[in-house]
A and B are shown apart, each in its own frame.
Chain A
Amino acid sequence: MSTRLRAVIALALAAALLLPATVAGQPRSSLVAVSGMWSPPNNFSPINTDSAYGYYAVRFMFGSLLESRLENNQLKLYPMLASRWSVAADNQTYRFTLHPRASWHDGRPVTAEDVEFTVMTISDPRTQTNRGASVAFIAGMDATGKRAGGAQIGFRILGPKEFEIRTAKPVDPNFVFERFGYDMYILPKHVLGGVAPDQLARHPFFQNPTVGNGPFKFVQYKTDQYVEFVANESYHLGAPNIRRLFVRIIPPTTMMAQLERRDLDVTAGGGIGSILIDDWDRVKAIPHVQAVSYSAPGYQFMAFNFQRAYLQDKRVRRAMAHAINRPLLVSQLLKGEGELAEGPIPPNNPYFNRAVRPWAFDTARARALLQEAGWDFTRTLILRVPTGNILRERSADVIRENLIAAGVRVEIQKSDFPTHLAALYAANYDIGLVGWSGGVDPDVSSQFRTGATYTRLIHMSNQQIDQLLDEGAATADQARRRQIYNRFQEVFADELPYVVLYYEKSRAAVARRMSDVNYGVQGFYWFQPFAWTAALQ
């Protein structure tokens, strides 16, 4: 009995294992490509998906007016839905012409009315959206991008495919192009026009967005597994070379295996589909894969709780900047795939101030500064660390050792991210680790202006910084703006609202059979998946 049973089990297992061995590893056509990201999108709302995962999927289906990329440290704009644009001499009136053949996936043309509908939807106080910043500078909007009662909105339809916006004040055109031009995706008025704004977030369209205006059409979303797209053959910038495209949800731990098996062609990169640092050397060694690392605007920082009297002396904060061995974090923890800068403007940004150098790693200097500031060397600081980002967790141990060497006692407290964030907002910490990713424009008011996101995390208000940020946002002249933001970066390094630990380069991978996949300086604004080409493998 027992031998027979065992034999049956063994046979059954073997048969199951070998079943359709043909399915794996079949050659992939040049018409199919697979991209991969770590987590599922929460919805496909172009104005309300809450994560970069959602926007990664949205960008295949929905277009913005423009895209841009850095060329010789200058922003160069490229047409997407808009084919022409112009700025009036006053830097307040912006005129856009939509591409004559730009159309929705159901064949209807994309019109100025669709753009107006999008702006009016975003600015409706009842709409759930996170795109307020895309319209906040338009005349008639309040600072959060909501329509102020009764005011005349600076949006005018000039023709079926032509419109202009008017800003409340003169603005740097690049700022408008970034926020309005490529941060905002246009909604179909003929599909969503009849929906009440407060019902929009739950509208089934955002789970099943069949009418887009981008190079790919939505086919289906297999929950937690993949999003399937098919080429939009009548895309106005040219039919995509790839006919079927999948965005697959792949956990970080198996991304390398998928690449090695040729099951994955393009990682999403950024903070949503990078190669784990521990797999990086192995991915670089896969012959049919190209490992690409590129500068990204995302960085990690150590926040100070300004409500603590003992952290208010800027010498103490600078001492900690000296104490932390940031070059080691980059060379060891990031295997060299990182950059250092003493502020929130990334080193690859056109407004980056090269004259501001990060404070050098110097334990003796740190100790001296602490003594000068009258630091109590028996005090123990709570360093709050969120779990989830392995590199960040590892960096906490280095930071702790470094600070102890300089005479600052540190105790690490780890928690999941929501708890961590709640503790920071409640000022229930001394120092804490957080990450951030910014845009191209140097305006960081949404973080550092008193009352903005990060000042509420670190409980800081700095008049000098507020003033510089207001001035920078209100200045249209680019040379003058550069001066202001140079000064801002000097002040930032001196005041140190927080210590930037490192800018992590994005570690992406592309199958060598793919070409024209653009990983740019600011990949987010230069996407162009209709140009992707795949070779038969």
Chain B
Amino acid sequence: MQRYLARRLLITVPILLGITVLSYLILSLTPGDPVQMLIDPNATQADLEIRRRELGLNDPIAVRYVKWLGEVLRGNLGYSFSTGAPVARRIGERVLPTLTLTVTALVLSYAVAVPVGMVAATRRYTWVDYVATFVAFLGISLPTFFLGLAGIYIFALRLRWLPVGGTQTLGGDGGLLDALHHLVLPATVLAAAGAGALTRYVRSSMLEVLGQDYVRTAHAKGLAERLVVRRHALRNALIPVVTLAGLQIPALLAGAVITEQVFEWPGMGRLTIEAINQRDYPVLMGITLITAVFVALGNLLADITYSVVDPRIRYD
């Protein structure tokens, strides 16, 4: 296991390097000039030239990449083109809001999907199953922005229970209650889509397990239905579902672009879109690099989880 881990971690280094080379190349080849996007249209040609030189955009791509990599190896992700702030800070200040939102949504979607999927599977083709399926597909197929706006309309505008957006009351010191109050709507909306797909996943995984011999054996032993389902079937049915969680880690960090837009949530998704629209290369590279690291770690974690929950899998 340790050798396997060491090998996996070593392989990660050239992979990350490859990712940065490719994304740097693709970014640089994308049409659109960062300086044109940055500058006030009234700025003169000379202002533009200074800006271009200042940002080092006159160098060839290879030179720029090597310079960038050198800085990164020294722990400096560079400075944002558009704000002049260090990239690490721009990303850093968005990590917490994004994780708060995405992790809450993930937990919420599992909390709903696991029991619902389980019940839908055990009572297959009953009205319970049909309702669960219907709602699950609703969650999958309704676009997030629609759900978000509908949620705002109902809960913020008509019922006035919840705020329209943001992470805290204006100028507030951000008490826990206030933060929760702001989190409910975006987290629920974000969870809805995930929960829909997950419910279907749990249901089919559960059905597969329920048809297996050991479940029949358990029944034959005269165990109560509840015990059979909960202790024997569910645990095995959850193996692939738990793995799924590991694979979702990078997505958690990447943020939820649309939900963040609709709810004024200051997260990574919004930063990414903003950086793309302004062709803010250093910020985009920073995001790519960090996301890549998390993808690699997430995959590793998923593989390890496999071996923990399923004794049939071993790494040597």
Contacts and interface: CB of A to CB of B under 8 A. Distances in A.
B166 A225 contact: yes
A421 B51 CA distance: 18
Contact of A16 (B84, B94, B180, B262): B180
Contact of A142 (B46, B119, B169, B276): B46
Contacts of A142: 46
A222 B37 contact: no
Interface stretch (B4-12, B148-156, B212-220): B148-156
Contacts of A43: 82-85
Most B CB atoms within 10 A — which of A39, A224, A226, A453? A224
Interface stretch (B63-71, B170-178, B240-248, B305-313): B170-178
Contact of A228 (B79, B161, B171): B171
A42 B32 CA distance: 19
A9 B265 CA distance: 25
A364 interface: no
B40 A50 contact: yes
A23 B36 contact: no
B164 A254 contact: yes
Contacts of A225: 166-168, 264, 266
Interface string B78-111: 0100111100000001100000000000000001
A136 interface: yes
B41 A436 contact: yes
- Bin chain B's interface residue count: 35 or more
Contacts of A20: 177-178, 180-181
A383 to B, nearest CB: 17
A51 B278 CA distance: 11
Interface residues on A, range: 35 or more
Given A132-B47, A223-B266, A50 B33 contact: no
B264 A250 contact: yes
A133 B119 contact: no
B180 A126 contact: no
Contacts of A203: 84
B13 interface: no
B126 interface: no
A23 to B, nearest CB: 6
Interface string A198-213: 1001110011000000
A253 interface: yes
A19 to B, nearest CB: 5
A130 B39 contact: yes
B160 interface: yes
A419 interface: yes
A418 B82 contact: no
B2 interface: no
A527 B263 CA distance: 29
B47 A130 contact: yes
Contact of A261 (B115, B156, B184, B271): B156
Contact of B94 (A223, A257, A423): A223
A536 interface: no
B302 interface: no
A224 B85 contact: no
B84 A202 contact: yes
A418 B230 contact: no
A130 B163 contact: no
A1 interface: yes
A201 B84 contact: yes
Nearest to A260: B157
Given A416-B277, A418-B36, 11 more contacts: A6-B115, A9-B111, A16-B184, A34-B170, A42-B82, A130-B40, A132-B46, A142-B46, A224-B94, A224-B265, A439-B42
Q: Which 6 A-B pairs have the closest CB atoms?
A: A418-B32, A224-B266, A144-B46, A144-B44, A130-B40, A130-B43
Interface of B: 30-34, 36-47, 50-51, 54, 79, 82-85, 93-94, 111-112, 115, 118-119, 145, 149, 152-153, 155-157, 160-171, 177-178, 180-181, 184, 188, 226, 230, 261-262, 264-267, 270-271, 274, 276-279
